[in-house]
Structure 1
Amino acid sequence: MLARLIPRRLGEGEEAELVDHLGELRHRLFVTLGAFVPAFALAFAFHGRLVAALREPLPDGRRLVTLGVTEPFTVSVKVSVVAALALALPVLLWQAWAFVAPAVDRATRRTIGALVALGTALFAAGSLFAYVVVLPRALDFLTTFDTHLYDVQLRASSYFGFAAMGLLASGIAFELPVLVLGLVRLGVVSSRQLRRNRRVGYVAMLTFAIVLPTVDPVSLALEVTPLLALYETSIWLAALMERRAAAAPHALAEGV
């Protein structure tokens, strides 16, 4: 019974009909759904704590208001869905990777697997950085700007949407090393080109930081600093990858 629930992974180079691929995809979607449903139930059971945690970056004295009969419930559901997606993300990535892995060679599988693990850690680090460092300072600036002109009230649905977008954008921004290493692995760029065009890279990092959903100068500086550090780290990792790739044929030849 358990064997029917676990999708069978095709072997490298194994011939399979279209119906076999569709059957495997269906099973992997069921596994992903089976991970999301209990994750949502768990998140909704603790949605009060989740909402309280997301309210933490707000300045002292700021309260959230709801407009309409259903907004308290819908906001709790949306927060629970986002939390469930975060909890089920490792299973989703695992199933997606297991589905496409047989189509690539073993060396490429190792590279992609390492990049996926690195990307997951960087996304978590970026979201945590936004929650601890960026959001509190951005909200303090935005919610106190021109308070003598406006009666500032924060609607719950708008605030949680802003907070979620900030966490998501920061997590994506921290994926820079994965993007650079992927381009280097494909031969699109090299570490030498990255060093030679360092100024262009810095301008690109500044532009990306400006696009992120925080507009005050303090938050902008806090976002640019780690992006520049990640860009320099990407150059170092790209050079390391190129050296290992260059040494691989020599090692293979010596083994023969």
Structure 2
Amino acid sequence: MSDKPSDHDDQEMPLVSHLTELRTRILRCVLATFLIFLGLFYFAQKIYAFASEPIRRVLPEGATMISTDVTSPFLAPFKLTLVVSLFIAMPVILHQVWGFVAPGLYRHEKKVAIPLLISSIVLFYAGMAFAYFLVFPIIFHFFSSITPEGAMMMPDLNAYLDFILTLFFAFGVAFEIPVATVLLIWIGVVDVAYLKKIRPYVIIGCFVVGMILTPPDVFSQTMLAVPMWLLFEIGLLFGRFVQKRERPLADEDASPEAQPPAERP
């Protein structure tokens, strides 16, 4: 019997190699998040105090946050610290994603992909900072001002945490709009002229998304919708400099991993 591997084995090996590499990179992401979490766990209570500062600042005199669950004083800071660790590890996670997909890209594709990758990290953090320093004070001041007479605003630890994490994620993703716009133009799904044509629908869509992702008040909805629209315009601006992606004909433009192996004499 011949020891030569079958065609079936030749076809399976690349898939197995990719899955093995994917597993390795996922483990690296988990390890990075876990190590950051271990370093931050000691400061879990302080992290929660920092996150709750916007609402504690507007609470009436004598009011405090409450816990309607016995485990909330421990689980709420624990959960928040874990999420913060994930956010801090985002550059490592995106770097692992880049390392997995980069070998299949051409050189001219990498020149566009690297700025998009870096921009996505910066914009995600910018969206979270925008929510914490600008949106939260306005929202919580509004809620505090409309508290009915005879009632006292005393937010629950877990409810508050779920609320701010939702807004952090919403604003972080919303600030990725320029990256998504440039990416769609780059891969040829749409062009700048078409996006300009549908601008009115995009603006309406921004307010619809703001209505869905934020509390039912006009301030928070507007403060998410308007930045989304402005970020869309920024994406259009940079999209003018990005042409539709085309595969190069010359072999020298291709990445070494993407080139076919040379034929043996």
TM over 0.5: yes
Pick the aligned partner of 2:30 from 7, 30, 33. 33
Structure-2 separation of matches of 1:151 and 1:49? 25
Q: Which runs of 5+ in 2 are unaligned?
A: 1-11, 250-265
* One-letter code aligned to 1:20: S
Q: Cα deviations across residues 204-246 of structure 1 (Å, max 9, x unaligned)?
A: 222222222233222333323322221221111111213x979
Structure-2 separation of matches of 1:130 and 1:195? 28
Aligned-pair identity (%): 28
- 2:185/2:191 contact within 8 Å kept: yes
Pick the aligned partner of 1:48 from 38, 45, 50. 45
Map of 1:16-165 to 2, 5 A cutoff? 17-58=14-55, 59-61=58-60, 62-148=63-149, 150-165=151-166
* One-letter code aligned to 2:48: V
The 1:117–1:160 alpha-carbon spacing in structure 2 relative to 1, beyond 3 Å, is: same
The 1:18–1:223 alpha-carbon spacing in structure 2 relative to 1, beyond 3 Å, is: closer
- 2:54/2:136 contact within 8 Å kept: yes
Structure-1 separation of matches of 2:70 and 2:123? 39
What is the TM-score of this pair, normalised by structure 1?
0.82
The 1:224–1:26 alpha-carbon spacing in structure 2 relative to 1, beyond 3 Å, is: closer
Q: CA deviation at 1:162?
A: 0.2
Structure-1 separation of matches of 2:224 and 2:26? 36
Structure-2 separation of matches of 1:106 and 1:49? 45
Aligned residues: 234
Structure-2 separation of matches of 1:108 and 1:71? 48
* One-letter code aligned to 1:94: H
- 1:138/1:215 contact within 8 Å kept: no
Which residue number corresponds to residue 253 of structure 1?
A: none
Structure-1 separation of matches of 2:120 and 2:182? 11
Q: CA deviation at 1:74?
A: 0.8
Structure-2 separation of matches of 1:179 and 1:45? 37
Q: CA deviation at 1:151?
A: 4.4
Question: For structure 1, which segment, 115-124 or 225-234, has the greater mean C-alpha deviation from structure 2 after superposition?
Answer: 225-234
Q: Which runs of 5+ in 1 are unaligned?
A: 1-14, 250-256
The 1:237–1:16 alpha-carbon spacing in structure 2 relative to 1, beyond 3 Å, is: farther
Q: CA deviation at 1:176?
A: 0.8
Q: CA deviation at 1:119?
A: 1.1
CA RMSD, Structure 1 to Structure 2 (Å):
2.5
Structure-1 separation of matches of 2:187 and 2:211? 29
Structure-2 separation of matches of 1:245 and 1:72? 52
Larger Rg: 2
The 1:202–1:26 alpha-carbon spacing in structure 2 relative to 1, beyond 3 Å, is: closer
Structure-1 separation of matches of 2:193 and 2:125? 29
Which residue number corresponds to residue 211 of structure 1?
A: 212
Q: Secondary structure at the match of 1:69?
A: coil
Map of 1:8-19 to 2, 5 A cutoff? 17-19=14-16
Which residue number corresponds to residue 199 of structure 1?
A: 200
